[in-house]
Amino acid sequence: MARSPKAKIFTPSDELSLLRLADVSGQPAPHAPVTKPSKLAQPSKLAKPTKPAGGAAASDHAQLAMPTVLLYTDGACSGNPGPGGWAFVLKHPATGKQRVESGAELQTTNNRMELQAVISGLALLNKPTRVELTSDSQYVLKGLREWLKGWKAKGWKTASKQPVKNRDLWEELDRLSAMHQLQFHWIKGHSEHPENEQCDRLAVEAYRALQKQK
Q: Which residues are marked as active site?
A: 74-75, 114, 136, 190, 200
Q: For residue 15, with 0-12 CB atoms within 10 Å meaning exposed, 13-18 middle and 19 or more buried, which class applies?
A: middle
Q: How far apart are CA 137 and CA 74, in angstroms?
A: 8
CA–CA dist 50, 53 (Å, integer)? 9
* Contact by Cβ (8 Å): 71, 9: no
Q: Report whether 46 contacts 149 (CB < 8 A).
A: yes
CA trace torsion 192, 113, 167, 71 (10° rounding) = -50
Contact criterion met (CB below 8 Å) for 71 and 134: yes
